[in-house]
């Protein structure tokens, strides 16, 4: 019986923590934006939200986050932006950006002199 009560208590605590985290996230998001999407994009969005068990707004935010990373990588690969700017656009640290670029086999555009100057 105690195990059941402990499980119920833990479940309630997890739900409260999840609700609190959702409230904190909602407070951070202060802007609302309306966009027009093609039917096939809406269909894919519904599929993603269903499979990931998240609401459509969360799915859109996730896709935007992934799009920011892709955009930053693409611009960096094409030599249009620095690695620092790419990290800024992707909202990640430079070291995280370096790791992602390395995993994707994208060579660094840093020259040895740039690296050495940055060390001092």
48 part of a folded domain: yes
21 part of a folded domain: no
**Which tens digits make up the pLDDT trace of 56-106?**
999 999 999 999 999 999 999 999 998 899 999 999 998 899 899 989 998
**Which tens digits make up the pLDDT trace of 17-57?**
655 666 666 667 678 889 899 999 999 999 999 999 999 99
pTM for this structure?
Answer: 0.65
Confidence (pLDDT) at 120: 45
66 part of a folded domain: yes
19 part of a folded domain: no
Tokens of 52: 């990931």
Contact 52, 82 (CB under 8 A): no
Q: Give the domain range for residue 91.
A: 37-120
3-state secondary structure of 109: coil
C-alpha closest to that of 70 among 92, 90, 93: 90
Q: What kind and span of H or E run contains 57?
A: helix 56-77
Provide the b/e sequence for 78-114 (b: ≥16 CB within 10 Å): eeebebeebbbbbebeeeebbebbeeeeeeeeeeeee
**Which tens digits make up the pLDDT trace of 46-63?**
999 999 999 999 999 999
Report how many domains make up the chain.
1
Q: Is the pLDDT of residue 119 over 60?
A: no
95 part of a folded domain: yes
6 part of a folded domain: no
């Amino acid at each position: 019986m105690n195990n059941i009560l402990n499980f119920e208590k833990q479940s309630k605590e997890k739900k409260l923590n999840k609700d609190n985290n959702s409230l904190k996230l909602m407070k951070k998001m202060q802007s609302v934006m309306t966009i027009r999407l093609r039917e096939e994009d809406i269909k894919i969005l519904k599929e993603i939200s269903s499979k990931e068990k998240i609401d459509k707004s969360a799915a859109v935010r996730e896709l935007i986050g992934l799009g920011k990373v892709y955009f930053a990588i693409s611009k960096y690969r094409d030599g249009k932006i620095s690695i620092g700017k790419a990290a800024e656009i992707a909202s990640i640290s430079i070291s995280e950006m370096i790791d992602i670029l390395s995993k994707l086999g994208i060579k660094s555009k840093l020259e040895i002199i740039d690296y050495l100057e940055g060390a001092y």
